[in-house]
């Protein structure tokens, strides 16, 4: 089974590395930048505070659990697994730390997934609700793809991060 996963990882990585363009690399770098911890953690804190201040204590707590829980879980798994990142010659950007699971993928679904859930529950206008949910899903998918396109993660890193973030989001909700 591990051989099949590694073969898929290598195939996706090499295919995307061979198809990179300067413009798409710039766009994917910007998408990936918006998923950095120093962007999303303060954003989550700000939104949680805003929710709390408007009387949505349960919702604020769920968002905090999703984001903090995901961050802790990813950090622990990265330290335990210590999977190296893809080879530097296949990366479009520099990145440090371990590869599995992808924090960007995990936090994207925890953060944006929670915002989609909240929008689905609270926005009454059907068109606006669907638009916000679709936007959140698009950001999640773009974040995941950016990590693959830039060559800083294997496919299994992103899939594992997405699954981990989704599980923690479900528990938080």
The pLDDT confidence band at residue 1, using thresholds 50, 70 and 90, is confident
Query: Which distant-in-sequence residues (6+ apart) come within 8 Å of 161 by Cβ?
Result: 74, 100, 101, 102, 103, 104, 105, 106, 153
pLDDT tens-digit readout, 148-164: 999 999 999 999 999 99
**pLDDT for the residue numbered 2:** 80
**SS3 state at 138:** helix
Report CA torsion sign: 100, 101, 103, 108.
Answer: positive
Question: How many domains does the chain divide into?
Answer: 1
pLDDT for residue 134: 98
Residue 88 domain boundaries:
2-172
CA distance 111 to 140: 9
Q: What is the pTM of this model?
A: 0.92
What is the spatial distance between Cα 12 and Cα 84, in angstroms, rounded to a whole number?
A: 17
């Amino acid at each position: 089974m591990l051989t099949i996963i590694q073969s898929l990882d290598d195939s996706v990585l090499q295919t995307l590395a061979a198809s990179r363009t300067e413009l798409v690399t710039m766009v994917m770098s910007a998408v990936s930048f918006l998923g950095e911890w120093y962007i999303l953690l303060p954003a989550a804190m700000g939104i949680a505070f805003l929710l709390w201040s408007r009387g949505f204590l349960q919702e604020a707590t769920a968002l905090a659990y999703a984001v903090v829980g995901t961050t802790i879980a990813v950090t622990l798994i990265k330290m335990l697994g210590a999977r190296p990142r893809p080879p530097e010659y296949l990366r479009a950007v520099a990145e440090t730390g371990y590869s599995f699971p992808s924090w960007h993928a995990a936090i994207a679904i925890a953060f944006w997934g929670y915002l989609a859930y909240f929008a689905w529950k609270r926005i009454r206008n059907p068109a606006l609700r669907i638009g916000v949910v679709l936007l959140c899903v698009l950001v999640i998918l773009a974040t995941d793809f950016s990590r693959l396109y830039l060559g800083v993660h294997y496919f299994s890193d992103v899939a594992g991060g997405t699954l981990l973030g989704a599980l923690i989001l479900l528990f938080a909700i």
